[in-house]
Structures are given as structure tokens and as C-alpha cells.
Chain A
Amino acid sequence: MEDPGIAERLVDSLVRPDGSPKKRPVHTIGIGATGSFLASHVARDYCISKHFQGTETPVTVRFSNGSGSAVQHDGWSDVRGMATRFHLDDGTATDLIAMTLPEFFTPTPETFLDFALAAKPAKFSRESPWRKILDMLKLTPPMRDPYPGETVRPDEGAMRFADRNGYAQLAVFQAAAIGAPASYDRASYHAVHTFVITAPDGTRRWVRFTWQPIAGVLDTNPNAPPEDVYLQDKLRERLALAPARFSLMMSIGEIGDAFDDPTRPWPPHRVRVMMGTLTLDTVVKDQEADCERLSFNPGLLTDGIEPSGDLVLRARKDVYEISSKRRGAVPCPFSRSQANDE
């Protein structure tokens, strides 16, 4: 480890005044559901991991709003999260953590610290009509008007950071207009980082994963007044009617691709493999005990899946552990899994 303090400092940097020390510092509001994952018939040709062998694997999923505010604003434009734990048949588990933004803001933990500080949610003033006219004459879009009750936001700081650091531009640009999903099961979620998977013949492939909703992607109307509370109810209603399903799509990287840089998505032209289908049928009954107090960790991998050299991915293992400890959550089951650091 280069800098033993970086993980602590990253967690510190995320703390915001409207958050809660007992909850996650980001992705604070969420809901858990359970179901199972069934690998496709080709998945085992690519990866020897247990959950890709073709038997049903039970899963726990937590959907979340990306914001670290402890006040629920489902309808505000925000990145959404989908953390999936696969409960493997030997009692161990592996996590796949994904979000609706297809890329990350920075290429390293250190630059993320700079970003988190620069984009800390801050007081902002509504853009004046005169300023808006000036923007229109400059052919630049005015900044978004505040939502009712919105007093702090990261947008201005993130934008200033992106103006100085080109690598952050794609994520900041896409996050600024990401909107709100009609339901948690109507969004695509990207695991962003590259992982290295091993096939039965020993071939190692550099891959990236995305969950695609079988119900299709659907956002709310960005011009209608946002509703603060609907996503959890929608998911309950949805699962009471019928299971929600996602396909796990895997893109295979090629020499020359950004294997270790989470700010660079891969073009949609890479070989794509359907690795399996996730079926969610039950909302977790005791949300507090079995979901909110749970801790997911992107470093919780299993035989057949390793982290790439992506420094952000590698740093996240400690970050999530520290965060989980601070909020008094159930520790993630590293002790029972094969740890993947070298």
C-alpha cells in the first residue's frame, strides 16, 4: 500500500452535513431485495467462478440513490447504485457493485480525494435570469435550477474540477444530466472497473460488467416536479406483481483498451457475452438488519475473478471496510473468502 492513510481520508472526504454517521456516507438511501442468479449456458466457458457454472445462486441486492444525504429525494437527478451479493454454495460470497454512471470521475484514489473535496456539496445560488440569457448567447446550457428545498449540491464544484482535469469531464458531463429512473428495475447499472476472469482452459480475459434491465430503461420526465419518495414503493409494487429481471452483460477488453482507467468506458464494439440472468422476487423484510447494516465490498471476489490493476478498484476494498466499521455495520465476509490482494 502506497499511502496507508488514503482510505481513511477518502471516507472522511465523503462526509456531508446532511448525512448520518449511522448510515453509509454515500448511497445512503437504499432498499434491499433477494432472488437468484442463473448463469447463461456459455458463462462457464469464460469463467470458472462458482456462480457462472449454471446452478442457481441466491443473491441479495441493494439499490440506492448515490447521494450521501440522509434525506430521501428519489426524483432528483442522481447516480443510482446496485450492489449485488452472490451467496455461493460453499458458504462464501462475492460482490458486484455497479452504478448507473458508466465511468468514474478520476483514474486514481488520490485524484478522487481531490475531486471529492472540490465537489463537496456546497451552498449555491440559483442562476439569475440575466446570467441565463448570457449563457444562452454563449450557447452554453444554464446551470440547473434548484429543486424545491435543495440548498447544497456538488454540481458547481464538480464542474470547476472538470474544467481543470480533462479525465473527469465525461463522468461530470453525464452525471449532470443523469436524471431519475422510473423505478430501480428500469436502469442499466455498470460495474465500471475492469476485472480479470479465468476460463476453464486457463485463459485470462480483461472484462467489464453491466446489468441490463429486461423491463427496459425508463427515466422520469425531467421537466415534471420531482417526487421525493417513490422508488422503494415502486420496487415493492413491482415485485409483488412479478419478478424484476436483469441480464448480466460482459464486454471483453482488447489490447489498447483502458484496462486500469475507470474514467474511460470501452466503446460498444467489444465482444459482448451474456453471462446470466438475475431474478429478484422478494423485498427484504427486515431492511435495517438484512440490508442497511450489510456491507458490500468491491474487493470481495472469488476464485476465477480478480481485480485488474485499476488503482481505484484496489483502494475501494479498504475504503468500504473502514466505512462499514465506522457506521457499525456487519463486517463484510472477507475472512471467509479468498482475499484478492497480493
Chain B
Amino acid sequence: MTNDGGWFDRFVDSLPERGWFKFLSTYVVVPYWVWRDPKPKLPGGPRASAQPSENVQRMMNLIMPLKDSSPIGRAKAALAIAQNVDEIFAGLDNVGTVHTARFLLLDDYICMISVYDGDFSNYIRDFIATIGSVFDEVVSLVEGGDDLIPTTHNVERFIDWVHAHDLFQAPDFPTDLFGLQDTASGRSPDSPPHELRSLPRELILQLNANPNISLGGGYRAYPGFSAAQVRGKFGVGW
């Protein structure tokens, strides 16, 4: 490091890299703080915003735990998607508001990652209307999914379920985390202000409640434009 405060100081600076200290932090310090200051799980998806550019190119990161994550279970999931490529692509064309969408198998999850324009509930509703049968197949492979089948008859519940499995999107500006946590706990945001140096702890505690998150709202090459506007510019006919 930059300055010499003596051997004890250097030793203390090295603690975060020492195995026993990491063990202590993981199994004692963090659980203590989780007990003392539990954080509610923060809701998934983009947050409501009046600005038009916040309502296009919105990110969905749907992370669904597989019932069977063995290679056979994963192959079934892969097959469910592969056998329905026509349905999915035609459905996405019909929905019309989707920039990109793809499925991933990642550890014990099947993930649907997409970028869409407009309201979340409408997006899911349109989707079910056009490819509900595919969703039935996907959710049948997912823990807690059986109750939602057929999705076309459980639209509102399915929307809530998707929302619950969509990743929390960390704010683009780090200190905004305080306000989001306050709101989730029913307090008025940032009044009184939080101790600024507690931000790293608040993040650690939030990652305990939401282990998987999207880091910020992401980069866009042409922010502010809808899929329809982009297609319109290119003259590709729909």
C-alpha cells in the first residue's frame, strides 16, 4: 500500500485477504448484521418512471430454478426450447415490442433474458396470448411452475410469478440504494440521510436478500428508441 503505518497496520490491511478472516466475515460478521438489520428482498425488473426513454428497451432477466438440474433435466429444458423455436420467434414478431430475447441454462436455472418496450404486464400478457403453450412447457420444468398451468387461464398470477423471478436491477447511481431500501421497508426515503460509509454494508445485506441481481440498467447503443422506431428507420416492413 501507499504508506507505512507499522507492521500491525499492514497486518490489519491484509486481513480482508486472509482465509480465516474471510471465514469469520462470512460465518459470523455478515450473519450478525443480517440478523440485526434484515433487508426485504427488493422487487425485480425496471422501476416505474415517467420518462419515455425509461419505458423503451427495458431489461427482463427471468431466472427460474429448474426442477431437475441433472444433465437429463437440462436436456429436457433445452429440448422444450429447441422444439418451439418457430412458436417463440413468431410469437416475438407478433408481440412486436421486443428488441432481443434468449434463453440460457445457467447452473440450476433456466433464464429468459429479453429487452422489451413498454409496460411489463402488457408484455407478459401479449406473450402468453401468442405463445402460452411454450410457457406451459417451460414452467412445467420449473419449481413452483405447475400451479400456473395453463398459463392462458392464470394470466395475472403468471405475471406476478414472473415479476417475482425477474432480477432486482441495482440502481445506476450507487447511493440510490438507500432510498430503495427505505421504501421497501415502509420508511420515507433518505430522511434522515444514511451514514454514507454504511453503503457497502447495505449492499452486502441486500445481496444476502437478493443474491442474484442485474448490475445497473445496462448499456444501450441507441438509447431512447423503441423496436418499432428502429424497424421503421430500416424500412423492414412491420
Residues on B with beta carbons closer than 8 Å to the beta carbon of A241 = none
A136–B16 touching, CB < 8 Å: yes
Residues on B with beta carbons closer than 8 Å to the beta carbon of A159 = 196-197
**Number of chain B residues whose Cβ lies closer than 8 Å to a Cβ of chain A:** 48
Closest chain B residue to A130, Cβ basis: B12
- Stretch from B70-78, B130-138, B215-223 that touches the partner: B215-223
Closest chain A residue to B225, Cβ basis: A271
Q: A-facing mask of B179-197, CB < 8 A → 1, else 0?
A: 0000000000011011111
Within the complex, the shortest CB–CB distance from B56 to chain A, in Å, comes to 8
Distance in angstroms between the alpha carbons of A270 and B176 in the assembled complex: 18
Within the complex, the shortest CB–CB distance from A234 to chain B, in Å, comes to 20
A271–B174 touching, CB < 8 Å: no
B2 CB contact (under 8 Å) in A164, A166, A173, A225? A225
Given contacts A139-B33, A169-B193, contact A268 B200 (CB under 8 A): no
Interface residues of B in 146-161 (CB under 8 A from A): none
Given contacts A141-B200, A145-B3, A173-B199, contact A129 B224 (CB under 8 A): no
B54–A139 touching, CB < 8 Å: no
Q: B-facing mask of A232-274, CB < 8 A → 1, else 0?
A: 0000000000000000000010111100000001011111100
Distance in angstroms between the alpha carbons of A25 and B52 in the assembled complex: 42
A38 at the interface (CB under 8 A from B): no
B82 at the interface (CB under 8 A from A): no
Q: B-facing mask of A140-151, CB < 8 A → 1, else 0?
A: 110001111000
A123 at the interface (CB under 8 A from B): no
Given contacts A139-B201, A163-B193, A223-B1, contact A255 B175 (CB under 8 A): no
Residues on A with beta carbons closer than 8 Å to the beta carbon of B198 = 138, 140
Within the complex, the shortest CB–CB distance from B51 to chain A, in Å, comes to 4
Residues on B with beta carbons closer than 8 Å to the beta carbon of A145 = 1-3, 5, 9, 13
B217–A269 touching, CB < 8 Å: yes
A338 at the interface (CB under 8 A from B): no
Distance in angstroms between the alpha carbons of A9 and B233 in the assembled complex: 53
A119 at the interface (CB under 8 A from B): no
Given contacts A137-B29, A140-B197, A255-B50, contact A268 B223 (CB under 8 A): yes
Distance in angstroms between the alpha carbons of A277 and B149 in the assembled complex: 56
- Most B CB contacts (10 A, CB to CB) among A136, A139, A223, A254 go to A139
B51 CB contact (under 8 Å) in A128, A148, A254? A254
A226 at the interface (CB under 8 A from B): yes
A111 at the interface (CB under 8 A from B): no
A172 at the interface (CB under 8 A from B): yes
Distance in angstroms between the alpha carbons of A22 and B40 in the assembled complex: 55
Within the complex, the shortest CB–CB distance from B177 to chain A, in Å, comes to 11
B175–A140 touching, CB < 8 Å: no
Within the complex, the shortest CB–CB distance from A260 to chain B, in Å, comes to 16
Within the complex, the shortest CB–CB distance from A73 to chain B, in Å, comes to 12
**Number of chain A residues whose Cβ lies closer than 8 Å to a Cβ of chain B:** 42
A265–B173 touching, CB < 8 Å: yes
Given contacts A138-B201, A163-B193, contact A269 B220 (CB under 8 A): yes
A141–B197 touching, CB < 8 Å: yes
Q: B-facing mask of A12-51, CB < 8 A → 1, else 0?
A: 0000000000000000000000000000000000000000
Closest chain A residue to B50, Cβ basis: A256
A269–B193 touching, CB < 8 Å: no
Residues on A with beta carbons closer than 8 Å to the beta carbon of B224 = 252, 269-272
B223–A162 touching, CB < 8 Å: no
B225–A148 touching, CB < 8 Å: no
Q: A-facing mask of B1-38, CB < 8 A → 1, else 0?
A: 11101101101110110000100010001100100000
Residues on A with beta carbons closer than 8 Å to the beta carbon of B25 = 136
Residues on B with beta carbons closer than 8 Å to the beta carbon of A165 = 193
Distance in angstroms between the alpha carbons of A200 and B174 in the assembled complex: 38
B57 at the interface (CB under 8 A from A): yes
A148–B2 touching, CB < 8 Å: yes
Closest chain A residue to B199, Cβ basis: A173
Residues on A with beta carbons closer than 8 Å to the beta carbon of B204 = 139
A170–B30 touching, CB < 8 Å: no
Within the complex, the shortest CB–CB distance from B41 to chain A, in Å, comes to 19
Residues on B with beta carbons closer than 8 Å to the beta carbon of A255 = 50-51
Within the complex, the shortest CB–CB distance from B174 to chain A, in Å, comes to 6
Within the complex, the shortest CB–CB distance from A14 to chain B, in Å, comes to 23
Interface residues of A in 270-287 (CB under 8 A from B): 270-272
Within the complex, the shortest CB–CB distance from B57 to chain A, in Å, comes to 7
B2–A132 touching, CB < 8 Å: no
Residues on A with beta carbons closer than 8 Å to the beta carbon of B11 = 129
A132–B12 touching, CB < 8 Å: yes
Residues on B with beta carbons closer than 8 Å to the beta carbon of A132 = 9, 12-13
A140–B201 touching, CB < 8 Å: yes
Given contacts A255-B51, A268-B220, contact A148 B3 (CB under 8 A): yes
A/B interface sample: 15 pairs, CB < 8 A: A126-B5, A129-B8, A132-B9, A132-B12, A145-B2, A145-B3, A159-B197, A163-B193, A172-B196, A254-B51, A254-B52, A265-B173, A269-B223, A271-B223, A272-B223
Further contacts, 4 of them, CB under 8 A, given A139-B33, A139-B201: A145-B1, A170-B173, A256-B50, A256-B51
